[in-house]
Amino acid sequence: MTPNASYPVWPTGVVGRWPDAELHSEPTGLTAITEKFSGYFADIVTNNVLNLRNGGTICRAYLSSHPDFPSLLAYGIKIVRRPGVINGLLTIEYRGLDPALSYPPPPIYTIEVTTGNEPLQTHPLWTSKIAGGPALTGALVPQNGSIWVDANGRFNPAPTSQTGTFDPTTGQFYNWIGGSIFAGVEDYLAAGIVFKKRYTTLGLPSGLSDVGTFSDPDGPAPGLPSNYAWFYLGVTSQDNAGIYSNDATWKAVPQGPAANIIYGG
């Protein structure tokens, strides 16, 4: 310290605001700003409300308003003890809607074309080139070593010990003959389309009754083949201090009588 020098008095309960705040805004309108304040460590730790050295107050409690931008609310804080007399550093992260906006902006849509495992029996070529069918004669006879069983437990192709006639009208796929090229194959990689919507809301998202059903997306989703439909997988939502960041997902899946009954298509 310099002899006879004078130093400013720093009152208790007062913090100084740093000038280097950074604001980051996403295309969805979700915005975050980080502010720093210096003061006595004990004051910062024990007081939610602190006086600003140049006038005004701040509150570091969760969901407290930013001193300049009321659409941004306190989300998280960090307090660090530093050397020196003014030995506390308070960092507050505020989140919310971009102060330049009155309402959340339009959603952002993405499309992912991927592959996924599907049961082999759902393959479009199941009857024509993979397993065939249970018929005794004609086009839909067993192929590639497929084995079929009827309601009476008789098989096609029939083992040498089998008695009675196989009934193809009740025939169901049973298994593969050993040595078949499809022995052990239970699924296959099928192309799939996933449609996603990212958007923000000022409250929890509504209209979630369609989750788990065949439901068309509300955005510019691509058209699908006649035997496919959009299935609403669900939505995740995160509270960012008063503004909710939401991600909704739909998947293109085969639609048939059984699926319509199960999922209410």
Given a cut of 70, whether residue 65 has pLDDT beyond it is yes
**Rounded-to-integer distance, Cα 138 and Cα 135, Å:** 7
Helix (H) or strand (E) holding 193: strand 187-201
| pLDDT score for 90 | 97
The residue count of the chain comes to: 265
Residues 6+ apart with CB under 8 A from 133: 127, 139, 140, 141, 142, 148, 168, 171
**Rounded-to-integer distance, Cα 183 and Cα 179, Å:** 7
131-177 pLDDT, tens digit per residue, is 999 999 998 999 999 999 999 999 999 999 999 999 999 999 999 99
**Rounded-to-integer distance, Cα 158 and Cα 163, Å:** 9
88-129 pLDDT, tens digit per residue, is 999 999 999 999 999 999 999 999 988 888 899 988 899 999
Taken in order 239, 240, 243, 247, the sign of the CA dihedral is negative
What are the sequence ranges of the domains in the chain? Answer: 14-97, 108-118+187-263, 132-176
| Residue 14 CB neighbours (<10 A) | 19
232-261 pLDDT, tens digit per residue, is 999 999 999 989 999 999 999 887 777 777
Closest CA to 154 of 143, 163, 146: 163
**Rounded-to-integer distance, Cα 195 and Cα 217, Å:** 8
29-42 pLDDT, tens digit per residue, is 999 999 999 999 99
Closest CA to 193 of 123, 108, 116, 112: 112
Q: Structure pTM? A: 0.76
| pLDDT score for 6 | 53
| pLDDT score for 1 | 46
193-227 pLDDT, tens digit per residue, is 999 999 999 998 887 788 888 989 988 999 888 78
| pLDDT score for 192 | 86
